[in-house]
C-alpha cells in the first residue's frame, strides 16, 4: 500500500467515519498525511515488530545524507537521542541517513 492509498484512507476516516469533514477538508487531511510522512521517524516499539510514526520538532529539520555525521537512537520513553558519528567542528552540518543503512537500493526507493 503506497502513501496515496494510506492518505485517502485517513482522509475518509477523518472526514467520513469521524464526521469531521465540516472542520477539515479531504484535501487538507491528504496534504497533512504527506507532510507527516515526510517529517516523521519510524519508531520501533521494543522487541516487537510493531512501530509508530513520530514527529520530533527539531530532529525533523536535520538534513539527510547517505553518509551521515550523526546517528539516531530511540529511547524507551520514545524520546530521540542524536549523537555525532565522529568529532564535529563548529559549523559542521549535522546529518542523518533517513533510511536504514542496511536496506538495499530497491528497498530505499520504495
Q: Which of 32, 24, 25 is nearest to 6 (CA)?
A: 32
- What pLDDT is stored for residue 110 in this prediction? 67
| Low-confidence stretches of the chain (pLDDT beneath 70) | 101, 108-110
- What pLDDT is stored for residue 47 in this prediction? 78
Q: Is the distance from CB of 78 to CB of 110 less than 8 angstroms?
A: no
Q: Which of 28, 29, 25 is nearest to 9 (CA)?
A: 29
pLDDT tens-digit readout, 19-36: 999 999 999 999 999 899
Written as nine digits, the cell of 21 is 469533514
CA distance 55 to 57: 6
- What pLDDT is stored for residue 95 in this prediction? 96
Beta bridge partners of 64: 96
- What pLDDT is stored for residue 104 in this prediction? 76
Amino acid at each position: 500500500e503506497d502513501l496515496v492509498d494510506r492518505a485517502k484512507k485517513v482522509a475518509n476516516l477523518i472526514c467520513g467515519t469521524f464526521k469531521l469533514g465540516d472542520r477539515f477538508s479531504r484535501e487538507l487531511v491528504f496534504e497533512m498525511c504527506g507532510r507527516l510522512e515526510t517529517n516523521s521517524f519510524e519508531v520501533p516499539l521494543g522487541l516487537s515488530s510493531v512501530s509508530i510514526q513520530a514527529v520530533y520538532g527539531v530532529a525533523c529539520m536535520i538534513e539527510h545524507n547517505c553518509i551521515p555525521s550523526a546517528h539516531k537512537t530511540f529511547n524507551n520513553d520514545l524520546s530521540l537521542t542524536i549523537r555525532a558519528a565522529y568529532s564535529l567542528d563548529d559549523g559542521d552540518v549535522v546529518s542523518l541517513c533517513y533510511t536504514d543503512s542496511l536496506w538495499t537500493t530497491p528497498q530505499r526507493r520504495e
